[in-house]
Amino acid sequence: MMQSNTNYALFFERYHDFLPTDFVSGLTHKHLEHKTLRVNTSKISPPDLLTLLTQAGFEICPDEQYPALFHVNSHCSNLLAKSWQARAGLFYFQSKASYLPAQILSPLIGETVLDLAAAPGSKTTQLSQLRQEKGLIIANDINPKRRAALAFNLEQQGCANVQISGYDGRQIGNLAAECFDRVLLDAPCSLETYALKKKDFFKYWSLAKVQQMANLQRQLLVSALKACKKGGTIVYSTCTLAPEENEINIKWLLDNYADFLELEPINQTQNQVLSEFQGQRFSKQIQNCYRILPDKSNGYEAFFIAKIRKTKSLPPHNPQQNQSASTKYKHLSKKDQQSLFDQLNIVYQFDLDWQTDFALIGDYTKSWLICKSSSDLEHGQLQIERPALPFGRQTQKGYRLSFPFCLKFGHLAKANYLEIDQKQALDFCQGKNIPAASLAVNPGIQQIIRHQGFALGRAILLNDGTLKNQTPPAFVRQSL
């Protein structure tokens, strides 16, 4: 308790000069308890989602600056998180400030992107949707539990252009030097934006922790710089107030790598970037960065963003670093891909020429689907942990489509789908079976389950006449 009080006092003493007074008094914190969601524009347009959610009774309103962001009244955010619209992946809860780094990185269609510290995937899913899945994203994170959350979000949002890796990000610059057109480093940080949100924040906060994070971030920044191609762009962001992790780190980068990079200006209004901290003055260049302070008038949390252009290649770490490692994943042969896609079109009458836009990875017994423009499996010496969106697998009872595949493409099926009503949709999201008595269903064939035309998952007919819900437990838990 004593330590916590000392930390609290130290924290506000440090930031007294630039923190808004309402943050200090705790007011901003209360305001920021409301949530913001980002529309999954690959599934629905912002006006259509607004209509859908408003008609369902949710209190939401569009953000004044960004059409794809909606503010959600805190009374209904829990219910919304469990709704069938959430199951269908129509939106993603993301704070307004956290929305900006991916927008500022703004990769072009076809460019290869590295998201160096990606989990749980707010910005990876956003980056995927920004380019309509055209161009590979490698989403890396060191933490396996958080990578599981990342995979979940990619599946729910239906991102078929993302491969996951699990490295310490500090290694990637050497393993995949100059492999990426754009790199996002949304860095691990001291998370000071949560200072007034998390009750026990001050138990864990300390100046030593700030310094420890700043050191890690410097190493990650150098790795990002190495992984980026010459002429490419890196966006660095944190959700912390500490200048050591923000302006001072960027100053350090400029001091040590001036020949290799330049800072690009971020054109945003109300930039609160610091010109000095505790007597240390920052150069004019640092003013190109963007600092957001928590502000209850516009819904922002604390964030810091820098945009860096790599102007020159760094000397190679070792001469072999650019050699490709043999990857454990392979593409299916064209013949096998065609055979699986043909079966798919026959059963569900998709009427799609899958091979034009997609490729299958793995083998006939278990495969993943990836957008063709993202299907390259070699990235220097990086080993991929998860190569794409699960597609399906061969079982003793026949070929079974994956749940994420059904969620992503189920709305396009013209056969073997079931449109269920509102009550059934809520039950289905909570993992309940569907009584099949009144439904005309083909036994043995997986049925895609839809509500209002949006796919919610899959089910299969049992001998007793019920439709067995085939939703994976992680998705069920989200709706309970």
Residue 146 makes contact with ligand SAM by CB under 6 A: yes
Q: Is 192 in the site for ligand SAM (CB under 6 A)?
A: no
Dihedral pair phi/psi, residue 166, rounded to 5°: -125, 45
Pair of tokens at residue 137: 């994203």
Give the shortest CB-31-to-ligand SAM separation in angstroms: 22
Decide: is 38 part of the binding site for ligand SAM (CB under 6 A). Answer: no
Residue 200 to residue 1: CA distance in whole angstroms? 10
The angle, 0 to 180 degrees and rounded to 10, between the axes of the packed helices 247-257 and 207-227 is: 40
Report the nearest approach of ligand SAM to the CB of residue 457 (Å).
24
- Sequence-distant (6+) residues with CB within 8 A of 51 are none
The DSSP result for 12-52, as a single string, is HHHHTTTS-HHHHTTHHHHHTTSEEEEE-TTT--HHHHHHH
Binding-residue total with ligand SAM (CB under 6 A) = 16
Q: Phi/psi of residue 358, each to 5°?
A: -130, 160
Q: Which residues contact 128 (CB under 8 A, 6 or more apart)?
A: 42, 137, 154, 157, 159, 161, 162
Judged by CB under 6 A, does residue 242 bind ligand SAM? no
Binding of ligand SAM by 301 (CB under 6 A): no
- x/- mask, ligand SAM, residues 103-122, rule CB under 6 A, reads --------------xxxxxx
Per CB under 6 A, 170 contacts ligand SAM? yes
166 touches ligand SAM by CB under 6 A: no
Q: How far is the CB of 224 from ligand SAM (least distance, A)?
A: 11
Q: What's the min distance (Å) between Cβ of 167 and ligand SAM?
A: 7
| Range in contact with ligand SAM (rule: CB under 6 A) among 167-175, 375-383, 384-392, 443-451 | 167-175
Q: Which amino acid is at 265?
A: P
Task: Give the chain's end-to-end CA distance (angstroms, integer).
Answer: 35
Q: Which residues pair with 362 in a beta bridge?
A: 367
3-state secondary structure 384-410: CCECCEEEEEEECCEEEECHHHHHHHH
Q: Under the criterion CB under 6 A, does residue 188 sit at the interface with ligand SAM?
A: yes
Using the rule CB under 6 A, is 457 a contact of ligand SAM? Answer: no
CA 250 – CA 271 distance, rounded (Å): 16
Position 450 contacts ligand SAM (CB under 6 A): no
Q: Cα(317)–Cα(173) distance, rounded to whole angstroms? A: 9
User: Which of the stretches 67-75, 139-147, 266-274, 324-332 binds ligand SAM when contact is defined by CB under 6 A?
Assistant: 139-147
Q: How far is the CB of 150 from ligand SAM (least distance, A)?
A: 8
Q: Which of 41, 74, 103, 143 binds ligand SAM (CB under 6 A)?
A: 143
168 sits near ligand SAM (criterion: CB under 6 A) = yes
228 classed as catalytic: no
Task: Note whether 186 binds ligand SAM by CB under 6 A.
Answer: yes
| Contact with ligand SAM (CB under 6 A) among 63, 111, 133, 141 | 141
- Residues lying near ligand SAM in the complex (CB under 6 A): 117-123, 141-143, 146, 168-170, 186, 188
Catalytic residues: 239
